Homo-oligomer: A and B are copies of this chain.
Amino acid sequence: MTQTGKALRSSKTWQSLYAEVSKRISEGLWKPGDFIPGEVELAREFGCARATVNRALRQLAEEGYLDRRRKAGTRVALHPVRKATLDISITRLEVEQRGAAYSHAVLSRKHNKAPRHIREIMGETKTKPLYLATLHQADNAPFVYETRWVNTEAVPDILSADLSQISVNEWLVENALFTTGRITFSAANASDVEADILKVKPGAALFIVERITWNGLNAVTVVRLAYAPKFEMSTEI
Contacts and interface: CB of A to CB of B under 8 A. Distances in A.
Given A184-B232, A187-B205, A237 B88 contact: yes
Contact of A83 (B88, B188, B229): B88
A107 interface: no
A227 B187 CA distance: 9
A182 B235 contact: yes
A81 B85 contact: no
B80 A87 contact: no
Main secondary structure of the interface of A (DSSP, over half): strand
Contacts of A211: 237
Q: How large is the interface on A (under 10, 10 to 19, 20 to 34, 35 or more residues)?
A: 35 or more
Contacts of A218: none
A208 interface: yes
A83 B79 contact: no
B177 A80 contact: yes
Interface of A: 22, 25-26, 32, 64-65, 79-90, 93, 173-174, 177-178, 180-189, 203-208, 211, 227, 229, 231-237
9 contacts: A26-B177, A79-B174, A82-B89, A86-B86, A180-B237, A183-B237, A184-B232, A185-B234, A187-B188
